[in-house]
């Protein structure tokens, strides 16, 4: 089977955009909907992975707003993508994302600025206990209805 | 982590799918062909869109029409230097293996585990080895209690194109199990003051 790859890279996607795509096809956490929705098992594995990352709390406006404000810090596109996907809360989490920060003039002040922007604009990941509570609430509603 | 790729291929639509709308039928065939398969451009995760489908000729001796389809798929293709959050899967004397759920071939070879470290037989699992990082006289065990952040170092495709392995590094600041770093920001601030 010969595939002709027309364009190997027709655009990079953030985790949020892939999650949004799966959501629009009907993917969800509800077990009954899972069987009916036109989403395959392997796509559900990706959905489950993404629901545990910060992507599950993001929206398109949040991301466009964040990448606009990132322009001041002169970050590479790949670095902005990494920050959106990982949502670092501490300097030490941001460090492996930035490449050669000292040579590019990104000092501690700039790093703190980036972290403040992340804290202000990107919603944090819900804690594991909160996620557990949400699941319990859903099942209770299911039983009542 | 993910990106879109445009492909063009000739697709044979089996006759039993012809009662469905054409786009749905072609999408079903594409999903069967590409979903969860590793191509040279990455792991195909989802069919994004069908741009065009032309042809529909029935070849002699065959009951099924063949279409020339141009379509876009979502591929999982991390770039070298990307930081990804993964879960611990297993470990042995050569290193660790991490998983993302949909992709399980992430290996952290022993030289890329933070040093100083030691490897000991795991008391819970007879066949596995457990890696422990020793830092400032405190020992940190690498296990599946928290997610592990790793940075992609190398992507390799084995000769038979069914699996694809990634090498990751966790020996840098901020990489490794997230629990190691959660309380760390306070410590870092103190260091700056002194």
Q: Where a domain ends, among B25, B47, B76?
A: B76
Q: Report the DSSP beta bridge partners of residue B76.
A: B2, B43
Residues B61 and B118 in one domain: no
Tokens of B25: 């039928």
Q: CATH number, domain at B186? A: 2.40.50.140
Check whether B162 has a pLDDT greater than 50. Answer: no
Of the candidates A92, A6, A79, the one whose C-alpha atom is nearest the C-alpha of residue B135 is A92
- Report the C-alpha gap between B14 and B11 in whole angstroms: 10
Nearest Cα of chain A lies from the Cα of B73 at a distance, in angstroms, of 9
Q: How confident is the model at residue B183 (pLDDT cuts 50, 70, 90)?
A: very low
Chain A's closest residue to B176, CA to CA, is: A93
Residues B95 and B183 in one domain: yes
**Residue written as tokens 């709390």?**
A57
Backbone angles phi, psi at B33, to 5 degrees: -75, -40
Residues B40 and B113 in one domain: no
Residues B58 and B88 in one domain: no
The closest CB to that of A3, out of B9, B102, B151, belongs to B9
The closest CB to that of A97, out of B4, B7, B83, belongs to B83
Tokens of B108: 């952290």
- Report the C-alpha gap between A52 and B2 in whole angstroms: 16
The closest CB to that of A40, out of B7, B35, B72, belongs to B35
Distances (CA, A) of A64 to A59, A60, A67, A71, B2: 9, 6, 5, 11, 18
CB atoms within 10 A of CB A30: 14
Tokens of A67: 């990448």
The count of domains in chain B is: 2
- Report the C-alpha gap between B102 and A49 in whole angstroms: 8
Residues B70 and B101 in one domain: no
Q: Where a domain ends, among B42, B76, B110?
A: B76
pLDDT above 70: percentage of residues in chain A: 84
pTM of the model: 0.76
Q: How confident is the model at residue B152 (pLDDT cuts 50, 70, 90)?
A: confident
**Residue written as tokens 């639509």?**
B13
- What angle (nearest 5°) sits at the alpha carbon of residue B182, between those of residues B179 and B184? 120
Interface test with A, best of B85, B89, B172 (most A CBs within 10 A): B85
Distances (CA, A) of A16 to A12, A58, A78, B134: 12, 7, 15, 36
Residues B91 and B42 in one domain: no
What are the chain B neighbours of A49 within 8 Å (beta carbons)? 100-102
**Residue written as tokens 């890279």?**
A9
Residues B128 and B70 in one domain: no
Domain carrying residue B139: 83-190
Residues B111 and B178 in one domain: yes
Mean pLDDT value of segment B14-37: 88
Nearest Cα of chain B lies from the Cα of A40 at a distance, in angstroms, of 9
| Between residues B150 and B172, the one the model is more confident about | B150
CB atoms within 10 A of CB B172: 16
Q: Where a domain ends, among B25, B49, B76?
A: B76
B193 interfacial to chain A (CB closer than 8 Å) = no
A17 interfacial to chain B (CB closer than 8 Å) = yes
Residues B150 and B129 in one domain: yes
DSSP string, A89-144: -SHHHHTTTSSSTTTTT--HHHHHHHHHHHHHHSPPPPPHHHHHHHHHHHHHHHHH
Q: CATH number, domain at B10? A: 3.30.1490.120
Residues B68 and B114 in one domain: no
A60 interfacial to chain B (CB closer than 8 Å) = no
Nearest Cα of chain B lies from the Cα of A39 at a distance, in angstroms, of 9
A90 interfacial to chain B (CB closer than 8 Å) = yes
B49 interfacial to chain A (CB closer than 8 Å) = no
The closest CB to that of A96, out of B4, B151, B185, belongs to B151
Name, in order, each residue with C-beta under 8 angstroms of A44's C-beta and a sequence gap of 6 or more: A27, A34
Interface test with B, best of A1, A14, A18 (most B CBs within 10 A): A18
Q: Do A18 and B181 touch (CB under 8 A)?
A: no
Give the count of Cβ contacts less than 8 A between chain A and B: 121
Name, in order, each residue with C-beta under 8 angstroms of A106's C-beta and a sequence gap of 6 or more: A73, A74, A98
Residues B95 and B68 in one domain: no
Backbone angles phi, psi at B35, to 5 degrees: -60, 135
| DSSP 3-state of B46 | strand
A86 interfacial to chain B (CB closer than 8 Å) = yes
The closest CB to that of B173, out of A12, A82, A96, belongs to A96
Helices (H), chain B: 22-34, 184-193
Identify the pLDDT of residue A127.
Answer: 61
Specify the range with the lowest mean pLDDT, choosing from A3-7, A91-95, B40-44: A3-7
| Between residues A141 and A100, the one the model is more confident about | A100
Mean pLDDT value of segment B5-13: 90
Q: Report the DSSP beta bridge partners of residue B118.
A: B132
Per-residue pLDDT tens digits for A48-70 = 888 888 888 888 888 888 888 88
Per-residue pLDDT tens digits for B31-50 = 888 888 888 788 888 899 89
Residues B105 and B178 in one domain: yes
A96 interfacial to chain B (CB closer than 8 Å) = yes
Mean pLDDT of chain B: 77
What are the chain A neighbours of B69 within 8 Å (beta carbons)? none
What are the chain B neighbours of A48 within 8 Å (beta carbons)? 101
Identify the pLDDT of residue A5.
Answer: 82
């Amino acid at each position: 089977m010969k595939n002709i790859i027309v364009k190997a890279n027709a655009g990079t996607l953030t985790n949020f955009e892939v999650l949004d795509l799966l959501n629009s096809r009907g993917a969800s956490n509800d077990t009954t909907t899972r069987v009916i929705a036109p989403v395959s098992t392997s796509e559900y594995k990706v959905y489950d992975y993404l629901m545990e990352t910060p992507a599950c709390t993001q929206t398109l406006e949040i991301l466009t707003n964040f990448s606009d404000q990132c322009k001041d810090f002169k970050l590479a596109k790949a670095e902005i993508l990494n920050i959106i996907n990982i949502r670092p809360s501490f300097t030490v989490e941001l460090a492996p994302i930035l490449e050669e920060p000292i040579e590019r003039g990104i000092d501690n002040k700039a790093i703190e600025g980036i972290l403040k922007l992340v804290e202000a604009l990107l919603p944090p990941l819900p804690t594991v206990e909160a996620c557990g509570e949400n699941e319990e609430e859903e099942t209770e509603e299911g039983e009542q209805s | 982590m993910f990106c879109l790729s445009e492909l063009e291929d000739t697709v044979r639509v089996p006759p039993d799918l012809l009662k469905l709308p054409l786009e749905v039928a072609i999408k079903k065939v594409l999903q069967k062909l590409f979903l969860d398969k590793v191509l040279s451009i990455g792991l195909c995760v989802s069919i994004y869109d069908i741009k065009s489908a032309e042809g529909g000729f029935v070849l002699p001796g065959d009951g099924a029409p063949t279409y020339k389809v141009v379509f876009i798929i979502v591929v999982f293709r991390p770039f070298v230097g990307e930081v990804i959050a993964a879960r611990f899967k297993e470990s042995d004397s050569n290193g660790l293996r991490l998983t993302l759920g949909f992709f399980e071939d992430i290996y952290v070879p022993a030289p890329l585990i933070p040093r100083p470290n030691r490897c000991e037989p795991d008391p819970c699992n007879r066949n596995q080895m457990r890696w422990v990082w020793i830092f400032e006289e405190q020992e940190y065990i690498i296990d599946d209690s928290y997610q592990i952040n790793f940075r992609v170092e190398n992507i390799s495709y084995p000769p038979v194109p069914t699996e694809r392995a990634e090498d990751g590094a966790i020996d840098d600041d901020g990489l490794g199990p997230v629990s190691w770093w959660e309380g760390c920001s306070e410590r870092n601030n103190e260091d700056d003051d002194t």
